[in-house]
Structures are given as structure tokens and as C-alpha cells.
Structure 1
């Protein structure tokens, strides 16, 4: 009887901690940012072309993210500003077409929260950053029978440390990132 109990407990532990691949659902996810303008207001924008993949448990107690964001897809609701942001003055999207992030460590900080450390590469410069994460919920999709997870990642970076633009009185240096994700288990 002890052997049966041990075997069942062991198999259950393996199933609970098993990692699977998750993909972002582009229609229900958003990679957004905000930056101070003229030191009195905030301009928000987002990137519309991105691929976010995670390897995680069914409960997102541990996750390893890989992110690829296309710099040409920047959208601040102002075509002239977007073209300037794509130019060599800022992202230089022709030379640096992607922003990349890769997890280096994951730390659970609460029941549904975590700290995600990783290497962020923008404009050819890689720096270690920490993103705060929250699992909003996990459900079983009725159509696919697979799990879906809602997540929110937030963090702040200094754009000058990545060589994006120059010091300016008209725009802030700190960029607040907010990433809303709906991830589908594959």
C-alpha cells in the first residue's frame, strides 16, 4: 500500500510541475509603454507586432519567457511621431528590427505574483531588468480543452541606458512598460 501511495504521489508531483509551452494570443495581448512628455503629461503607445512564448507549469509558478517585439510596429496614435521613433534618432528600426527579452530567473513573490529577471536587448544594447508579474487567472478553454492564462507584466527602464534617443527636456528618460498577456497552452 505504501508503494502505491508513493507512486501516485510521485506521478502527481510530476504532472503538477511539468512544464509546457504557452504562446501569446495577439488579439488579446498588448505590449504597451508610457513616457513623460514636456514633464507635464504622459504619452502612451504600444507595439502591435510581437511574439511571446513561455515555458511554464500549469499554474505559472515557474516560467521562462522569450519575447520578440518588432520595432517597426510602434504605434503612439501619431504617424509623424511614430516615423521619428522608428528613425535612427531613436529605435533605428532598419538596423535594429527587434526588441528581445529572455528570462534568466523567476521568483514567486506571492500567491499570484512573481518577479521575472531577464536580459532585455534594445537598440543593440543588452541590460538585465526585472519585471513584476501577476497571474490574473487560469481557465480551461472550452473549444480547445487546453489552459489559458491571463498575465500582467510591468517594469520601468531608462531609455538612455539602451541608446534610444538623447537627453531631452521634452521627453522623460524613464519608460514604463505594461504588458497584458493572454497565453494559450500549446
Structure 2
């Protein structure tokens, strides 16, 4: 009977999830250099589809770095690159079209980049990040809304991780991507969930 109880206890311990001890106060995040954690970073977008619906897609590959100091949030630096060829939609045909010369021309312009030029703290957990966004070989200044999610040690890989939710709007025609405007919306909504792992 004692063996049965011991085995049951072991099963319960193994099955019990290990939760991360996440800090929700942005002022307590560890300062330092971070890299994009690509497996839990999502770069999504949506556009109006003929007035019937919002059509969503995403880019599945992102890399980049973040320099962060909660004591000096205005001095933070963000440098991110998204692989334009990693664009993905529910339609294989549309995905191929979006990579073509008529849209992103991903063969010629394989990288979408964002380099911050200014960080403005708005609230305890929010900020505006202004930077140079390059799409389709054209660079324009863009301001994004950033909300701090949390930070702490990832219990699975033991790496210190911090995460943010990012949103913003751009006009694709500003970047030379004008196919089917205005039938397909010119305004693109950006929805980004970014995870960053501390280096060193």
C-alpha cells in the first residue's frame, strides 16, 4: 500500500505544472542586453478584406536585440529583423503572391527591419517606441505602442526572459506595396508579441 501511495505521489509531482515567477513591475526588470526568443515571438498583421472581414497573416521568423535599463527607459534600444520570406497565411496561393514582386518582392527585399530612434515612457508599464521601419526597400519613421507583460526566469530553459505586447498601424502604400488598394485595405494593423532572453 505504501508503494502505491509513493508511486501516486510521484505521478502527481511530475504532472504538476511548474509556473514561472513573473515580475509584473517594469521597474524591476533586470537591465542588460537581450535577444529575440524566436519560438514565442509572434509578428501578426491584419488588413481590411473588401469591407467583409479583417484578414490576418503572420511572419514566422524574427531575430533581433534589445538593450534595456528600467532606470533609464528612454535609453532603451530595439533592433529587430523579420524574414519577409517567412510570411504565412491560411492560403498557400496567397502566401506565394504576397512574396512576389507584386507585393513584398521578398526575393529582392528579404528583410523587414525596425531600428528604434526614441523611446518615450507613457505609463508604468507602457511606452511609445519610434523608429525606422524598412519594408520593400523603403524606410519610414513609425511609432509603435508597447506594453510590458512581465519578466522572470523561464522554468523550462532557466533563461531570464522579458516580454512585451506591441501594436501599431502603417499604410502599406507608403512602402510601395500598393496592389489592390483600396479594394484590399491600405492600412495594416500590426500585432506583435515579443519575447526576449537576457544574454550573458
TM range (shorter): 0.7 to 0.9
- Alignment match, 2:63: 51
- Between structure 1 and structure 2, the one with the greater Rg is 2
- Alignment match, 2:119: 106
- Alignment match, 1:7: none
Query: How many residues align structurally?
Result: 171
- Alignment match, 2:20: none
Q: CA deviation at 1:18?
A: 8.3
Q: Is 1:118 the counterpart of 2:131 in the alignment?
A: yes
| TM-score normalised according to structure 1 size | 0.85
Output aligned runs, 1:155-166, within 5 Å: 155-166=168-179
Answer whether contact 1:103 1:116 (CA < 8 A) is retained.
Answer: yes
Cα displacement string for residues 91-131 of structure 1 (whole angstroms, at most 9, x for unaligned residues):
00111111011000000000000000000000111000000
Structure 1 residues 170 and 17: CA distance shift in structure 2, 3 A: closer
C-alpha distance in 1 between matches for 2:183 and 2:136: 21
Q: CA deviation at 1:167?
A: 4.9
Unaligned runs of 5+ in 1: 1-15
Structure 1 residues 144 and 83: CA distance shift in structure 2, 3 A: closer
Structure 1 stretch displaced more, 16-25 or 28-37: 16-25
Cα displacement string for residues 20-49 of structure 1 (whole angstroms, at most 9, x for unaligned residues):
211121111101100110112011011011
C-alpha distance in 2 between matches for 1:179 and 1:61: 20
Q: What's the Cα RMSD here?
A: 2.1
C-alpha distance in 2 between matches for 1:40 and 1:105: 37
Answer whether contact 1:74 1:86 (CA < 8 A) is retained.
Answer: yes
Structure 1 residues 139 and 80: CA distance shift in structure 2, 3 A: same
Structure 1 residues 146 and 48: CA distance shift in structure 2, 3 A: closer
C-alpha distance in 1 between matches for 2:45 and 2:64: 16
| TM-score normalised according to structure 2 size | 0.79
Output aligned runs, 1:1-186, within 5 Å: 19-57=31-69, 61-62=73-74, 63-142=76-155, 146-186=159-199
Q: CA deviation at 1:170?
A: 2.6
Q: Secondary structure at the match of 2:73?
A: coil
Greater strand share, structure number:
1
Answer whether contact 1:60 1:135 (CA < 8 A) is retained.
Answer: no
